[in-house]
Structure 1
Amino acid sequence: MSRPGRDDAPDRLYTLTQGRTRSAPGTPFDLLTLVVAECDPAPGMQSEHAAILRLTGRPTAVAEVAAELRLPVTITKILLCDLLAEGRVSARHPRRAELGGRPDPHILEQVLVGLRNL
């Protein structure tokens, strides 16, 4: 699988998302959303979708997925929406109650690393 990079032509990104420029309204994805694969990649699946399923074998933040794929977050969210609609991933927000309403510093550090890698 060739890994997408920052030098992707706009038509490549257009093809990845089938022309969509943003995820559907009301989708649960933000940078901190944890994504977990519900299945393994299937033969013939779009390579980016398969890569997401491999990356999210453990809970992984959207920002980390985007950084690993070297894709813009908006494109990554669109791809995640496709997988969520097919039941191939689940999405959840990190628990905040454990820290008295404060975000887990470890999660914030992971998001920061992901953002720096973009």
Structure 2
Amino acid sequence: MNRPGRDDAPDRLYTLTQGRSGTGSDTPFDLVTLVVAESEPVAGMQSEHVAILKLTRSPTSVVEIAAELRLPVSITRVLLCDLLAAGRVSARHPQRPAITDPDILEQVLVGLRNL
């Protein structure tokens, strides 16, 4: 049973996304995608969109945004897709360092040969 005054009621989540439940399979947002605001909030924006733009003044992951807003990740992704389509945020995956050190590659090769 929900406590009175809680904001995570299913009907509230439904209205936040205007009834949309997902973003499709081509969404650029996974849990570690870094989101950066490309503009400041403007008058008339949905309060969650404003909160996202304020949170993402510096690169912030999708999971961090969801936690700060206290929203499910699926709902956060829908809101982020709205902002991305409007050009208000950009998304990028964190860069992983390439393993190009020959010593590491040699150790991996030796380890595989020892199997």
TM-score interval for Structure 1 and Structure 2 normalised by the shorter chain: 0.7 to 0.9
TM-score, scaled relative to structure 2:
0.78
Counterpart residue identity of residue 27, structure 1:
T
- Cα deviations across residues 34-88 of structure 1 (Å, max 9, x unaligned)? 0000001010100000000000000000000000000000000000000000000
Number of residue-to-residue matches in the alignment: 96
Q: Is the 8 A contact 1:35 1:60 kept in 2?
A: yes
Deviation at 1:27, TM superposition (A): 1.4
Which aligned runs of 4 or more in structure 1 are off by greater than 4 angstroms? none
Q: Is the 8 A contact 1:49 1:83 kept in 2?
A: yes
Q: Distance in 2 between matches of 1:13 and 1:63?
A: 17
Q: Distance in 1 between matches of 2:30 and 2:6?
A: 21
Partner of 2:21: 21
Deviation at 1:97, TM superposition (A): 2.5
In structure 1, runs of 5+ residues without a counterpart are 102-118
Q: Is the 8 A contact 1:31 1:61 kept in 2?
A: yes
Counterpart residue identity of residue 97, structure 1:
P
Identity within the alignment, %: 72
Partner of 1:110: none
TM-score, scaled relative to structure 1:
0.76
Larger Rg: 2
Partner of 1:112: none
In structure 2, runs of 5+ residues without a counterpart are 101-115
Relative to structure 1, the CA distance from residue 39 to residue 81 in structure 2 (aligned partners, 3 Å threshold; closer, same or farther) is: same
Partner of 1:12: 12
The CA RMSD over aligned residues, in Å, is: 1.8
1:35-114 matched pairs, under 5 angstroms: 35-97=35-97, 100=99
